[in-house]
Amino acid sequence: MTVVLDSWAVLRYLEDSAPAAARVTKLLDGATPLMSWINLGEVHYVLRRLYSDEAATETVRDLRDVIDVRLPDERLIIEAARLKADFPMAYADAFAAALAISADATLWTGDPELLVSGAPWRWRDLRR
């Protein structure tokens, strides 16, 4: 099973927030999930605001060792724009959903904007 992580999942992992952190830790022990650079950029700015630019940059560098981070191409950008137009979500969230669709993967998140019944992407709620 291919997994896409969004910023919500990675931030809960970094905070060691249960139950999401344990699930992401277990995933990282046996697989290399995908993530959009847009979402990893979101992780960077949150960490920079909370701690420092140095801490954010170091954490992103470490995450790149265990996550396959993907740059969005034109097709993914347009798919994210379509999802943003059709569903009430942040633009960055649309990139996580678009990557999940594109990779035929399951999006791991706890973000209510992405936990949409009948959505064209598969998701797993990490809050439970």
Contact indicator for 62, 51 with CB cutoff of 8 Å = no
Closest CA to 46 of 80, 107, 92: 92
Average pLDDT over residues 91-119: 97
pLDDT tens digit string along 15-45? Answer: 999 999 999 999 999 999 999 999 999 999 9
Q: What is the pLDDT of residue 105?
A: 98
CA distances to 11, 33, 40, 58, 97 from 100, in Å: 18, 11, 15, 26, 5
pLDDT above 90 as % of the chain: 98
Q: What is the mean pLDDT of the chain?
A: 98
Q: What is the pLDDT of residue 92?
A: 96
The answer, yes or no, to whether residue 1 has pLDDT greater than 90, is: no
Beta strands in the chain (DSSP E): 3-5, 34-36, 68-70, 106-109, 122-125
Q: Give residue 114's Cα distance to chain centre.
A: 10
Average pLDDT over residues 76-81: 98
Write the single-letter amino acid at 106. Answer: T
CA distance 32 to 4: 9
Q: Confidence band (pLDDT; 50, 70, 90) for 14? A: very high
Q: In the chain, what are the domains? A: 3-125 (3.40.50.1010)
pLDDT above 70 as % of the chain: 100
